[in-house]
Amino acid sequence: MHILVTNDDGVTAPGLLALAQAMRQFGKVSVVAPDHDWSGGGHVKTLNRPLRVRRVKLADGSDALTSDGAPSDCVALALMGLLKDKVDLVVSGVNTAANLGHDVTYSGTVTAVMEGIIWGVPGVAVSLDARSSHSLELDYTLAVKVAADVVRTVLQNELPSGTFLNVNVPNVPIEAFKGIRLTRQGLRVYRDRLDKRTDPRGNDYYWIGGDRPTGVPHEGTDVGAIFAGFASVTPLELDLTAFHAMPILGEWRWNGEEKDTGLVVPASLPVVETAVANAAIH
Ligand code: MN
- 124-158 pLDDT, tens digit per residue, is 999 999 976 666 679 999 999 999 999 999 999 99
Phi then psi for residue 16, to 5 deg, are -70, -45
d(CA 6, ligand 1 centre) in Å: 11
Residue 274 lies in a domain: yes
d(CA 131, ligand 1 centre) in Å: 13
Q: Are 115 and 40 in the same domain?
A: yes
> What are the pLDDT digits (tens) for 219-242?
999 999 999 999 999 999 999 999
Q: Are 18 and 157 in the same domain?
A: yes
Q: Are 135 and 249 in the same domain?
A: no
Could you tell me if 265 and 243 are in contact, meaning their C-beta atoms sit under 8 angstroms apart? no
**CATH number for 176:** 3.40.1210.10
Q: Are 159 and 256 in the same domain?
A: no
Q: What is the domain count for the chain? A: 2
Q: Are 21 and 116 in the same domain?
A: yes
Q: Are 20 and 134 in the same domain?
A: yes
d(CA 5, ligand 1 centre) in Å: 14
Reported as type and span, the H/E element at residue 279 is: none
Smallest Cα–Cα separation from 146: which of 103, 91, 186, 188? 91
Could you tell me if 1 and 155 are in contact, meaning their C-beta atoms sit under 8 angstroms apart? yes
CA distance 235 to 46: 27
Q: Are 165 and 251 in the same domain?
A: no
Q: Residue 80 sits in which domain range?
A: 2-186+216-236
Q: For residue 132, what pLDDT is reported? A: 64
Q: Are 17 and 67 in the same domain?
A: yes
d(CA 181, ligand 1 centre) in Å: 23
d(CA 172, ligand 1 centre) in Å: 19
Phi then psi for residue 202, to 5 deg, are 85, 5
Q: Are 180 and 251 in the same domain?
A: no
d(CA 94, ligand 1 centre) in Å: 8
d(CA 152, ligand 1 centre) in Å: 24
d(CA 255, ligand 1 centre) in Å: 45
CA distance 66 to 251: 51
Q: For residue 256, what pLDDT is reported? A: 80
The parts of the chain modelled with pLDDT lower than 70 are 132-136, 257-282
Q: Determine the number of helices (DSSP H) and then strands (DSSP E) in the chain.
A: 7, 11
d(CA 200, ligand 1 centre) in Å: 29
Residue 34 lies in a domain: yes
Q: For residue 270, what pLDDT is reported? A: 54
Residue 192 lies in a domain: no
d(CA 216, ligand 1 centre) in Å: 22
Q: For residue 282, what pLDDT is reported? A: 29
Residue 196 lies in a domain: no
Residue 76 lies in a domain: yes
d(CA 8, ligand 1 centre) in Å: 5
Residue 165 lies in a domain: yes
Q: For residue 65, what pLDDT is reported? A: 98
- Please, what is the average pLDDT of the chain? 92
Q: Is 78 helix (H, G, I), strand (E, B) or coil?
A: helix
Residue 208 lies in a domain: no
